[in-house]
């Protein structure tokens, strides 16, 4: 295992649902293509916690030295910025952004829950104070994600606070 994470948002900062889209884009694009397919890690993960503003990246059964993997994690933000400047992510033809939005909504909605899990999810949402209105606002922010959200996220990753690494 190799992991790295850091705080992208301070407590009290407004976090948009778009960060979920960019994290999904990292997971299914850069992490999969570069860390899993090209460099052989059995698992490669990207996760953003909107409750505390922390982004994490990690690998599982990684055959590389930790230094190589950590360098690849550090290059993730540049990869997003390269995609934004090369046209892979664009305002005109936003197929990559649309795919990331669809994947994020799929993760958000998931499959229909059985009664036990539906009750647990409802309890967690109640304890967190998540209202239906707030959830709809989050969903709307996901749907309205654009290239500027990707660039902002990448710039925050390049300057994250309280970075931590685990090997």
Tell me: the pLDDT tens digits for 24-37? 999 999 999 999 99
> What are the residue ranges in the chain where pLDDT is below 70?
93
Q: Let me know the angle formed at the C-alpha of 13 by 7 and 17, rounded to the nearest 5 degrees.
A: 85
pLDDT at residue number 12: 85
Q: What is the spatial distance between Cα 95 and Cα 24, in angstroms, rounded to a whole number?
A: 14
pLDDT at residue number 92: 72
Q: What is the spatial distance between Cα 83 and Cα 11, in angstroms, rounded to a whole number?
A: 29
Strand partners, 60: 43
pLDDT at residue number 165: 87
pLDDT at residue number 90: 80
**How many Cβ atoms are within 10 Å of 44's Cβ, its own excluded?**
26
pLDDT at residue number 160: 87
**How many Cβ atoms are within 10 Å of 153's Cβ, its own excluded?**
25
Is the torsion defined by CA of 138, 91, 97, 69 positive or negative?
Answer: negative
Answer whether 151's CB lies under 8 Å from 157's CB: no
**Model confidence pLDDT, tens digit, residues 90-118:** 877 688 999 999 999 998 877 888 888 88
pTM, entire model: 0.87
């Amino acid at each position: 295992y190799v992991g790295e994470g850091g705080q992208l948002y301070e407590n009290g900062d407004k976090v948009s649902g778009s960060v979920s889209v960019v994290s999904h884009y990292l997971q299914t694009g850069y992490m999969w293509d570069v860390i899993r397919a090209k460099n052989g890690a059995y698992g490669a993960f990207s996760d953003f916690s909107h409750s505390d503003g922390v982004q994490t990246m990690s690998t599982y059964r990684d055959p590389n030295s930790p230094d190589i993997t950590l360098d690849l994690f550090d290059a993730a933000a540049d990869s997003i910025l390269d995609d934004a400047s090369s046209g892979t992510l664009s305002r005109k033809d936003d197929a990559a952004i649309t795919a990331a939005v669809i994947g994020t909504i799929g993760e958000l909605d998931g499959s229909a829950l059985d009664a036990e899990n539906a009750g647990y999810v409802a309890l967690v949402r109640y304890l967190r104070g998540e209202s239906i209105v707030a959830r709809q606002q989050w969903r709307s922010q996901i749907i309205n994600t654009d290239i500027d959200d990707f660039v902002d996220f990448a710039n925050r990753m390049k300057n994250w606070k309280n970075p931590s690494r685990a090997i």
